Structure 1
Amino acid sequence: MPSVIFSGDRIVDLCRGRDITPNALSYRAGVPQSTIKSILNDESQNPGIVTIKKLCDGLNISLSDFFNTDDFRNLEQEVK
């Protein structure tokens, strides 16, 4: 598992599953294209929850659906 907390792979997968482009998601979610580009290029490795919520709204999914993947379930706890 990479040390990156957040990866754009999840967004790409969700866009493909809905047959939309990241640019279309930008419009639907009200998130600047530059923000999505930064996430997809791993320049923004830990976007804020407000941004993720907007992306979820644009994808018509809940936050829990977004994070319901093995990648997120298997993250090591940062604070012990």
Structure 2
Amino acid sequence: MDYEYAQILVDRILTLCRSKGISINGLSEMSGVSQSTLDNFVNKRTFNPRIRTLHQIALAFGMTVAEFLDFQALNDYSFEDSTDEDSADE
């Protein structure tokens, strides 16, 4: 997963946190995802969250994974611009 794609997901998480008035620590408690996992992702130390992590985050926001991932910035993202190195991660 490349930096731009990961940043789109981070922005989604932070936007949802702000709209619901919760902190990353609060999201950790609500989702069961460790504080360190969320911090590493939000602070760009890791770029590839597992689907289980995304599922837990989505549930904490009262969403399905499909709802969590269905937003304009992600829908507009083009994988065609990804490098071969990014493709090797899949």
Q: What's the TM-score, normalizing by structure 1?
A: 0.85
**Equivalent position of 2:83 in the other structure:** none
Q: Which runs of 4+ in 1 moved over 6 A?
A: none
Change (3 A) 1:25 1:3: closer
Report the secondary structure of 1:38's partner residue.
helix
SS in 2 for 1:45: coil
- Work out the CA distance in 2 between the residues paired with 1:37 and 1:3: 16
1:27 paired residue number: 29
Q: Which has the larger radius of gyration?
A: 2
Q: Which runs of 5+ in 2 are unaligned?
A: 81-86
Indicate the residue corresponding to 1:13 in structure 2: 15
Residue 14 of structure 1: CA displacement?
Answer: 0.5
1:56 — aligned with what?
Answer: 58
CA shift digits 1:20-69 (9 cap, x unpaired): 11101100100000000011111121211110000111111111221122
1:36 alignment counterpart: 38
- Larger helix proportion, structure 1 or 2? 2
1:5 Cα deviation after fit: 2.1
Write the distance in 2 (CA, Å) between the matches of 1:13 and 1:73.
Answer: 16
Name the CA distance, whole Å, in 2 between partners of 1:3 and 1:54.
22
TM-score, normalization by structure 2: 0.76
| Structure 2 contact 40–46 (Cα < 8 Å) conserved | yes
Which amino acid in structure 2 is aligned with residue 4 of structure 1?
Answer: E
State yes or no: 1:74 paired with 2:81.
no
Q: RMSD of the TM alignment (CA)? A: 1.8
Aligned residues between the structures:
78
